[in-house]
Chains A and B, each alone.
Chain A
Amino acid sequence: MKLQVLGVKKRYGAVQAVDGVSLTASPGKIYGLLGPNGAGKTTTIRMIMNIIAPDQGRILFDGKPIRPGDKNRIGYLPEERGLYRKMVVNDLLQYFASLKGRRRADIQDRIDGWLERFDLAEWKMRKIEELSKGMSQKIQFIVSVLHDPDILVLDEPFAGLDPVSTEALRKAVLDLGKQDKTILLSTHIMEQAERMCSTILIIDHGRQVISGTVEGIKSRFGKNSVVIEFDGDSEVIQRCDLVANMISYPRWVEAELIDGAGPDELLGYLVGKVSIKRFEVVNPSLHKIFIDQLEKAR
């Protein structure tokens, strides 16, 4: 099932939360919706989910506006996480699946399978309120995929998860992508999007900043960037005339060189000033492109 968002706008009082966002997510692809906090990601997703209505623009499922039956074909993990705390895990999963039109008897195997996959099998008969935050987040993910939806909308799915759970969830999402599901994923963590998504859209203040495939964007903005790991003072690199701009940490920088400058020149400049551990010519990271474009847009 293809999901199209065509020029949607939403205004809350004086704030233009979403200002003309368009995207197309297709089966088998993971689409990343990126942007800083407050960029309008959640508002866009709520409009896709038909929870709020756009002021302008259209949202199409396989080319048509949403119909009552479509809700059963969409899975949703909202940013605001919440489950009925007094319910037993298995009952809760049964209930939510039944609201998506699944029969109780048909769904039990899937429930067991997903609980097993996320290491939650022994919690099946426990109440939600007994679960840790990470566990209930995994349950919430299971709720969104249990009914085998064609479209999966995940709003910040990794927020607040420990590394082990993050990895389990990442694998699950990638697997679903391989099963020809249409997946829309919002995040503000660029590395994740870079590794998982084939296509991305970066928005800021409700407006589109960059969109396209990850490879396309990287080559489009792919000027000569170098990553340097070193011991010494990063100020030395900062002061170099060859560097147009850079993202720097105490012992690591990603620097973009000015037009016409080559990496060799920078390397020659640095020798003797800092102790170089690694020097690599790279495509700029999504993170760097993101920061650069946001600064430009603002």
Chain B
Amino acid sequence: MEKLRKVIAHEFRMIAATKAFIILTILGPFLLIGMTVVPALVSQASQRRGIEIVAAGIPADMFAQVAEPLEQLGIHLAGSEQPTAELERRVREEDLYGYLLFPDDILSGGPLELVTREFPDYRIVETIKGVIGQVVMDARIRQAGLDSAKIRALTTALEIEAKQITRGGTKAQTDTFSFIMIGITFTLMLYMTILLYGQSIGRSVVQEKTSKTVEIMLSSVSERDLLFGKIFGQATASLLQYAVWIGMALLGARLIGPGLGLDSLPQLSISTLLYLVLFFLLGFFLFAALFAAFGAAAQDEQNLGQLSWPVIVILVFPMISAGPIITAPGSSFSIFLSLFPLTAPIVMFVRILVSDPKSWQIGLSVAIQLVTVFVVILLSAKIFRVGILMTGKRFTLAEVVRLLKT
């Protein structure tokens, strides 16, 4: 155990004490903000700058009703008596963003033409449609001799308030949309983490062979200690980076979130949060162990990539089958995937989110995953030991399976 602790500490330092790691840990959140918030701000700014559209043939009363709301939404609408040829010239010369051509039969369904130079921004189209459409509809209702306010009140859509009975007996209001968002975020986070850090653990195992340090290491520690040490040391470094990022994100959301008009984070119950952490860790260690196994079998990094594609496929599978799992979390398909170790971390968590699975299923799923992590690491150690002798030889997947049987 003493040696294992030293290997873990060493592997942790090898990752966490590098300049690249420290810089990425500190700058990561800013990069992320740069990638997500800045484009949104830029596009907001471009919308706020306002564009000019000329409306040809618009009835005066309608112009009075739409100009003001459109102006507030960043579209300056101007009436014009100019012929369409002249308007076309102005659009072509970028004097105007575009022009609207109102048909005489607009109240009986005639289409409104929008002529622009560039492919029109969908937000502009939607804004125009929303504002002018409402006014046109009101006019049609009035034309038919009805009260538009009354009609609008009568045609209000039905709202459904979904409530769920949990085993605890309490009723919780469920918001399916936010659950799906949490599920997707969790899956994406796990997916990205595994791709980022899992692969790097696989690479580090390969490097132990390519840099030929493996024999010295094995003359001091067992191959199990070496692999456990690598996986846990590097995983700890990765999780530390994650913790820093999440901490900074929460702090940032509290400090500058309101200023940016971001809504508060979705409210998660403590138990959901604990499950999130638990399944995230299980999934992470499971795939890290798998990558270590492939690293042990791979001859070089290129070979590692070739060997590990099935892992990526397995990882994507729960994302593809998210629909059936969310709509039928209690089906035998969902239960199977929540117990099968390679899909369990994601599927079990999603099932817990959208339903209330039996406790034994959760317990079994966790137990299966834990056992799998250890078995995979032990197998990696075995492959690793055999793989050392096969210097210069590349493995196919079939050969790896054969190695495991010997």
Residues of A near any B CB (own CB < 8 A): 12, 46, 49, 51-52, 71-72, 74, 76, 78, 80-87, 95-96, 98-101, 140, 143
Contact = CB atoms under 8 A, between A and B. Distances in A.
B389 A84 contact: no
Given A12-B389, A84-B14, A98 B6 contact: yes
Contacts of A95: 6, 10
A234 to B, nearest CB: 40
Nearest to B390: A12
A119 B211 CA distance: 25
A96 B6 contact: no
Given A84-B14, A86-B14, A95-B10, A76 B389 contact: no
Nearest to B388: A51
A202 to B, nearest CB: 24
B221 interface: yes
Interface string B325-354: 000000000000000000000000000000
B212 A78 contact: yes
A83 B211 contact: yes
B212 A76 contact: no
A74 B220 CA distance: 9
Contacts of B391: 80
A144 to B, nearest CB: 8
A99 B3 contact: yes
Interface in B367-406: 385, 388-389, 391
B89 to A, nearest CB: 66
B6 A78 contact: no
B213 A99 contact: no
Given A51-B219, A78-B212, 18 more contacts: A46-B215, A52-B385, A72-B220, A76-B215, A76-B216, A78-B216, A80-B212, A82-B211, A82-B212, A82-B214, A85-B211, A86-B18, A99-B3, A99-B6, A99-B221, A100-B220, A101-B2, A143-B216
Given A52-B389, A84-B211, A96 B216 contact: yes
Contacts, number: 60
B242 to A, nearest CB: 23
A71 B219 contact: yes
A87 B217 CA distance: 15
A218 B207 CA distance: 46
Max chain B C-beta neighbours (<10 A), residue from A72, A76, A82, A98: A82
A98 B3 CA distance: 8
Nearest to B18: A86
A140 B7 CA distance: 19
Contacts of A76: 215-216, 219
A80 B218 CA distance: 13
A34 B116 CA distance: 86
Interface string B4-32: 00110010001000100000000000000
Contacts of B215: 46, 49, 51, 76, 78, 80, 82
A99 B217 CA distance: 8
Nearest to B226: A99
Given A12-B389, A51-B388, A86-B14, A99 B220 contact: yes
Nearest to A49: B219
A82 B219 contact: no
A157 to B, nearest CB: 14
Contacts of A83: 211, 213, 216
Contact of B218 (A51, A87, A100): A51
Contacts of B385: 51-52
Max chain B C-beta neighbours (<10 A), residue from A85, A98, A101, A140: A98
10 contacts: A51-B388, A52-B389, A71-B221, A74-B219, A76-B219, A80-B215, A83-B213, A98-B6, A100-B220, A140-B216
| A-B complex: 9 closest residue pairs judged by Cβ atoms | A82-B212, A78-B215, A76-B219, A99-B220, A80-B212, A82-B213, A82-B211, A51-B218, A49-B219
A98 B13 CA distance: 15
